């Protein structure tokens, strides 16, 4: 069986579809596809076999977390094919010779493994050199948007299967949304993730094997080099700049610097600091903590979501914080969350009491007791009697509400007089809520 037959088989396309639908099956376009999944996969297979397959127009939008990025999203039908292509051939073919310290978008690696690797390198560096060392922290400017199609193709030219290579090139050339149609690739494609890893693979190997930087970590376009000599890291930076310029890329000067190894090192949302005794503290960046606090405050005090929903959000935040080794951040976040609920309980108690006062004041301001000998007074008494309320146990608020409605509408038979009972119930419910809140606080 050829690679094409394997990738385009209904079995593998259907399996890819089931993976692609996770988390997005609520979308109309996805639901329409999966409702006729086998038929759509069969049609997709034959479109490839007879040469009529074309990549659909991309969807473009922006995301603002963790920073503003322009996303070029692949249509679901194309995502299914690309998933099958990657899972059944392309991912292994592209990534098989990557170095161990390249961590993005690879099975068995990812954010958590990259963070642990950096911790390991800091500990190991201290065992070898103590705190006498430096870190070159580097970041590439607009990595996906600046990579030319020519460079991307050259970086993946070692893909052996001709059909798979041509499909890969077709996907690369389909990204023509930028000012220069021959430059830039979308973030929303599984294929381009592997391609972008391959673009910097020669740089990884030059750093590890030619420059002999033992302590090196890279996550996509963010990478750190550790060495005992600052001057040597300056030479490495020059070599990196030269290598990137040859590919039409450049470093982000605002995020690239050489610093003492004991200074806080920011990597993947966490701050690492190596101390004189070899201990490495790892904590969530302060701006991320502030954002989490704002998120919880909005959920609890502004949107006033249920306790269960807010608790789930807190647990997700705590799970992320616990990836660090700084337990004080966990304690502070829990304390902050409790304070939010105390503030909400106090505001709700005040709101309930205010609602009672407002209701009573509204009736008092707009109604007066009339003489029971008048027609309106008699109507009030008849209304109370019909509701089972005797003169001795009548509620002043009910009587005032009745009087207000009669005075307002002028007709005891007006259907809107029935509103008084719902008004009375609303007042009683508010009072009951207040009494319950007071009892709970006691």
pLDDT digits (tens, 9 = 90+) for 317-343: 999 999 998 899 999 999 999 999 998
Question: CA-to-CA distance for 373 and 361, rounded, in angstroms?
Answer: 26
Calculate Rg over the CA atoms of the chain: 34
Mean pLDDT of the chain: 84
What pTM was computed for the model?
0.74
Question: CA-to-CA distance for 215 and 376, rounded, in angstroms?
Answer: 92
Q: Is the pLDDT of residue 159 over 80?
A: yes
CB atoms within 10 A of CB 259: 14
What are 250-266's pLDDT values in tens digits? 999 999 999 999 999 99
Q: Is the pLDDT of residue 235 over 50?
A: yes
What are 205-217's pLDDT values in tens digits? 999 999 999 999 9
Q: Is the pLDDT of residue 123 over 80?
A: yes
Cis peptide before 66 (omega within 30 of 0): yes
Query: How are strands ordered across the β-sheet holding 134-139?
Result: 215-219, 222-227, 134-139, 257-260
pLDDT tier, 393 (very low <50, low <70, confident <90, very high otherwise): very low
Structure tokens belonging to residue 411? 């007709």
Share of the chain above pLDDT 70, in %: 78
- By C-alpha distance, which of 181, 211, 207, 184 is closest to 195? 184
Q: What is the pLDDT of residue 350?
A: 66
């Amino acid at each position: 069986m050829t690679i094409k037959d394997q990738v385009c088989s209904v079995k593998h396309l259907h399996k890819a579809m089931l993976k692609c639908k996770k988390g997005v099956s609520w979308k109309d376009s996805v639901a329409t596809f999966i409702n006729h999944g086998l038929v759509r996969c069969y049609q997709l297979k034959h479109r490839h076999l007879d040469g009529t397959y074309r990549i659909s127009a991309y969807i473009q939008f922006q995301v603002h977390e963790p920073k503003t990025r322009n996303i070029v999203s692949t249509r679901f039908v194309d995502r299914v094919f690309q998933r099958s292509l990657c899972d059944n051939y392309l991912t292994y073919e592209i990534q098989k010779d990557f170095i161990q310290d390249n961590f993005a978008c690879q099975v068995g690696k990812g954010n958590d493994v990259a963070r642990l690797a950096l911790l390991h390198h800091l500990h190991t560096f201290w065992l070898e050199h103590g705190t006498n060392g430096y870190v070159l922290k580097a970041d590439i400017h607009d990595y996906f948007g600046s990579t030319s199609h020519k460079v991307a193709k050259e970086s993946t030219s070692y893909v052996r299967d001709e059909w798979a290579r041509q499909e890969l090139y077709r996907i690369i050339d389909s990204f023509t949304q930028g000012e220069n149609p021959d430059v830039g690739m979308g973030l929303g494609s599984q294929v381009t993730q592997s391609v972008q890893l391959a673009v910097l693979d020669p740089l990884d190997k030059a750093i590890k094997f030619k420059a002999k930087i033992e302590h090196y970590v890279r996550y996509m376009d963010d990478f750190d080099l550790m060495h005992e000599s600052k001057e040597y890291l300056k030479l490495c930076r020059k070599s990196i700049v030269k290598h990137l310029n040859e590919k039409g890329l450049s470093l982000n000067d605002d995020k690239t610097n050489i610093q003492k190894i004991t200074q806080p090192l920011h990597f993947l949302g966490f701050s690492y600091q190596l101390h004189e005794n070899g201990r490495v503290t790892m904590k969530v960046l302060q701006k991320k903590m502030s954002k989490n606090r704002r998120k919880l405050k909005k959920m609890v005090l502004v949107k006033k979501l249920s306790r269960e929903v807010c608790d789930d959000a807190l647990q997700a935040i705590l799970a992320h914080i616990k990836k660090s080794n700084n337990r004080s951040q966990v304690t502070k976040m829990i304390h902050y969350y409790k304070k939010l609920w105390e503030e909400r309980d106090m505001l709700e108690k005040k709101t309930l009491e205010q609602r009672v006062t407002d209701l009573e004041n509204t009736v008092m301001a707009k109604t007066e007791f009339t003489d029971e000998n008048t027609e309106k007074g008699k109507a009030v008494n008849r209304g109370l009697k019909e509701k089972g309320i005797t003169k001795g146990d009548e509620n002043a608020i009910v009587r005032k509400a009745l009087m207000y409605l009669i005075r307002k509408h002028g007709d005891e038979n007006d259907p809107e007089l029935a509103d008084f009972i719902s008004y009375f119930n609303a007042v009683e419910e508010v009072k009951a809520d207040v009494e319950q809140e007071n009892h709970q606080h006691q």
